[in-house]
């Protein structure tokens, strides 16, 4: 029995060895399977299926971003805003700095950026992409759009070309270019996610929010940088992100270039933005309101209030009307209407299409300024210089501050050392509501009242964090 088993095992071993030797000496066989299919190279062809071009993406052509990046990065600068302290300490006067980005828009050194990049700054240092450094002067700001204009003394600078932000389409490729923390430049790519976004970030009572939303990465330090199309044209100024962590999370927002161009032209030409107003209060068209008015769609803007003797009132518009078109542009939302109107000045005529009692009608509205006239608003430089001589700097109240100071007023931004105002012991943040019992609701009223009052001047007002009223007196 054992001899049979041994014989079987020897035979099995011999067979395995033989198979192994055979596989070692045999050449490998290649099995090729062919099918009756045509092979195409992976390249783009203009002739698809029908023999004609299926689709051209003209708005995003070319999609090679290097050309746009090469053109734009030399025009984007780093901005260091230096804030001087209001008090001296043991080590001298204190200073703080903040940084952001800006865009050169002319060869002679005008730079466009965000107002919040330069807010409260006293000196501004500009670093170009090639590391040249300049000191800049602040030409002007517009808090209602969060834009500012700086100027450096230079010539033949690389500068960006303005594009048409109205032509942007959702899904179109864009680049966000910044110069944060003197890192020369950063370029990120994304698409336009939405247009006409209102995120309630601006607090000015005349704020205009109609942001371009993108998913291009924008981080701190990129504020004021350029949003460009793939042709390298400026279509927006990167301004804000929505985030829970403080870092980029996929939502960035830019001010449309068409609006920015109008704002900076006003600042250059007049020293102050000329804001044309329809003279209406507005509300969105909700589904409930649409059914109540028997509208065919939920698009448009509802008029809920008319300013007496304002432009809309003069043109015959009434509460209950629904604006659906402005100068040939369809109006779907409140931000769209606000952005379009903000591109015009007092005295300009707008053609408004509106719906009243299911009938489409048209009116010609002459825009007016915040004083309800058609004249150009003068620069407040004279008023600012007068107030500076007294020893303080003020600004208009934001919408949020007006909820606390319901009687109106102006807010003190800073108090100058050694001035008459400093000797009253007034602190920055004080809201001036009256001067010698005269109500104050604007900087212009503050200036005109102080200019005509003589002798003892009593400034009455409040601080937001306290409930009681405060009084400060000085002699003029």
pLDDT given for residue 94 in this prediction:
54
Structural domain includes residue 424: yes
| Pair 210, 127 in one domain | yes
Shared domain for 266 and 361, answered yes or no, is no
- From the number of C-beta atoms within 10 Å of its C-beta (0-12, 13-18, 19+), residue 450 rates as buried
How many whole angstroms from its chain centre is CA 91? Answer: 38
Active site residue 129: no
Q: Are the C-beta atoms of residues 433 and 460 closer than 8 Å to each other?
A: yes
**Residue 14 within a domain:** no
Choosing from 272, 297, 324, the residue where a domain stops is 272
Residue 315 β-bridge partners: none
Does 135 reside within a domain?
A: yes
Same domain, 333 and 463: no
Same domain for 392 and 445: yes
Tell me if 105 is assigned to some domain.
Answer: yes
Is residue 129 situated within a structural domain? Answer: yes
Task: Give dist(CA 414, CA 422) in Å, integer.
Answer: 10
The span from the CA of 156 to the CA of 108, in Å, is 6
Determine, yes or no, domain membership for 52. no
Burial of residue 293 (number of CB atoms within 10 Å: 0-12, 13-18, 19+): middle
Q: Does residue 402 sit in the same domain as residue 430?
A: yes
244 and 336, same domain (yes or no): no
Number of domains in the chain: 3
pLDDT per residue, tens digit, the chain (476 aa), is: 555 555 555 655 555 555 454 444 444 333 222 333 332 222 222 333 333 333 344 445 556 789 999 999 999 999 999 876 544 444 445 567 788 999 999 999 999 999 999 987 888 999 999 999 999 999 999 988 999 999 999 999 999 999 999 999 999 999 999 998 766 688 999 999 999 988 888 776 678 889 999 999 888 788 999 999 999 999 999 998 887 766 667 789 999 999 999 999 999 988 889 999 999 999 999 999 999 999 988 999 999 999 999 999 999 999 999 999 999 999 999 999 999 999 999 999 999 999 999 999 999 999 998 878 888 877 776 788 889 889 998 988 877 788 788 888 999 988 998 899 999 999 999 999 999 999 998 888 898 899 889 899 999 999 988 888 999 999 98
Of 254, 272, 290, the position where a domain reaches its end is: 272
Cβ neighbours, 10 Å, residue 329: 13
Query: CB of 474 within 8 A of CB of 426?
Result: no
Collapsed DSSP state (helix, strand, coil) of residue 307: coil
- Are residues 74 and 204 both part of a single domain? yes
CATH of the domain at 244: 2.40.10.120
- Which is catalytic among the residues 210, 223, 252, 414? 223
Instruction: Establish if 353 belongs to a structural domain.
Output: yes
Instruction: Let me know whether 106 and 140 are in one domain.
Output: yes
In tens, the pLDDT along 4-51 reads 555 555 655 555 555 454 444 444 333 222 333 332 222 222 333 333
Q: Residue with structure tokens 């350029």?
A: 226
Catalytic residue (one of 101, 142, 146, 266): 146
* The token pair that represents 232 in the structure block: 């390298």
CA distances from residue 57 to 171, 214, 256 in whole angstroms, order as listed:
11, 19, 22
- What's residue 110's pLDDT? 97
d(CA 441, CA 411): 10
Domain limits for position 354: 280-366
Tokens 């319901």 identify what position?
406
pLDDT value of residue 185: 80
Residues 231 and 320 in one domain: no
Task: Please tell me the predicted confidence (pLDDT) of residue 87.
Answer: 45
Question: Given its phi and psi angles, is residue 230 left (phi above 0), alpha (psi -120 to 50 degrees) or beta?
Answer: alpha
Active site residue 146: yes
Residue 416 lies in a domain: yes
Taking only the tens place, the pLDDT of each residue in 85-107 is 544 444 445 567 788 999 999 99
Query: How far apart are alpha carbons 225 and 216 in whole angstroms?
Result: 12
Rounded Cα distance, 358 and 351, in Å:
19
- Which secondary structure element, helix H or strand E, spans residue 17, and what is its range? helix 2-25
Among 81, 98, 116, 414, the one annotated catalytic: 116
Specify the pLDDT at position 228. Answer: 96
Indicate whether 342 and 423 sit together in one domain: no
pLDDT digits (tens, 9 = 90+) for 204-213: 667 888 999 9
The count of other CB atoms within 10 Å of the CB of residue 390 is 14
What is the value of pTM for the model shown?
Answer: 0.72
Q: List the CATH number of the domain containing 361.
A: 2.30.42.10
Domain stop point among 251, 272, 293: 272
Residues 266 and 285 placed together within one structural domain of the fold? no
d(CA 82, CA 125): 8
Using DSSP bridges, classify how beta strands 233-241 and 161-162 pair: parallel, antiparallel or unpaired. parallel
Alpha-carbon span 238 to 177, nearest angstrom: 9
* CA–CA distance, 451 with 431 (Å, rounded to integer): 19
CA-CA-CA-CA torsion sign (183, 185, 188, 194): positive
Pair (81, 149) in one structural domain: yes
């Amino acid at each position: 029995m054992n001899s049979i088993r041994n014989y079987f095992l020897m035979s099995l071993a011999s067979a395995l060895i033989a198979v192994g030797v055979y596989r070692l000496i045999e050449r490998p066989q290649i099995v090729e399977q062919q099918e009756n299919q045509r092979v195409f190279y992976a390249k783009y062809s203009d002739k698809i299926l029908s023999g004609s071009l299926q689709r051209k993406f003209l708005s995003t052509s070319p999609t090679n971003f290097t050309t746009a990046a090469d053109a734009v990065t030399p025009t984007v600068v780093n901005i260091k805003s230096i804030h001087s302290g209001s008090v001296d300490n043991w080590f001298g006067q204190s200073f703080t700095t903040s940084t952001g980005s800006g865009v050169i828009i002319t060869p002679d050194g005008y730079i466009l950026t965000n107002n919040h990049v330069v807010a409260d700054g006293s000196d501004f240092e500009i670093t170009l992409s090639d590391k040249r450094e300049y000191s800049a002067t602040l030409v002007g700001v517009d808090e209602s759009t969060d834009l500012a204009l700086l100027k450096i003394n230079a010539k033949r600078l690389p500068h960006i070309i303005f594009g048409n932000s109205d032509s942007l389409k959702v899904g179109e490729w864009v680049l966000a270019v910044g110069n944060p923390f003197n890192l020369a430049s950063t370029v990120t790519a994304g698409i336009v996610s939405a247009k006409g976004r209102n995120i309630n970030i601006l607090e000015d009572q005349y704020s205009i929010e109609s942001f371009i939303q993108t998913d291009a990465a924008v981080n701190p330090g990129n504020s004021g940088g350029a949003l460009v199309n793939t042709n390298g044209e400026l279509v927006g100024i990167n301004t804000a992100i929505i985030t829970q962590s403080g870092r980029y999370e996929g939502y960035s927002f830019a001010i449309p270039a068409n609006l920015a161009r109008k704002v900076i032209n006003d600042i250059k030409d007049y020293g102050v933005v000329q804001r044309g107003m329809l003279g209406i209060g507005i509300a969105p068209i909700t589904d409930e309101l649409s059914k109540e008015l028997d509208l065919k769609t939920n698009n448009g803007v509802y008029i809920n209030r008319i300013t007496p003797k304002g432009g809309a009132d003069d043109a015959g518009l009434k509460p209950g009307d629904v604006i659906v078109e402005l100068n040939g542009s369809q109006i779907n939302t409140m931000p769209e209407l606000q952005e379009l109107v903000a591109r015009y000045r007092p005295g300009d005529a707008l053609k408004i299409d509106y719906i009243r009692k299911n009938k489409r009608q048209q009116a010609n509205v002459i825009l007016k300024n915040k004083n309800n006239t058609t004249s150009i608003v003068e620069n407040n430089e004279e008023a600012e210089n007068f107030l500076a001589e007294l020893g303080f700097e003020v600004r208009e109240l934001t919408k949020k501050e007006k909820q606390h100071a319901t009687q109106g007023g102006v807010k003190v931004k800073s108090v100058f050392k050694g001035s008459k105002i400093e000797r009253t012991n007034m602190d920055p943040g004080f809201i001036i509501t009256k001067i010698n019992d005269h109500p104050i609701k604007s900087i212009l009223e503050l200036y005109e009242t102080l200019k005509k009052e003589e002798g003892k001047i009593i400034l009455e007002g409040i601080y937001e964090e306290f409930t009681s009223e405060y009084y400060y007196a000085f002699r003029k």
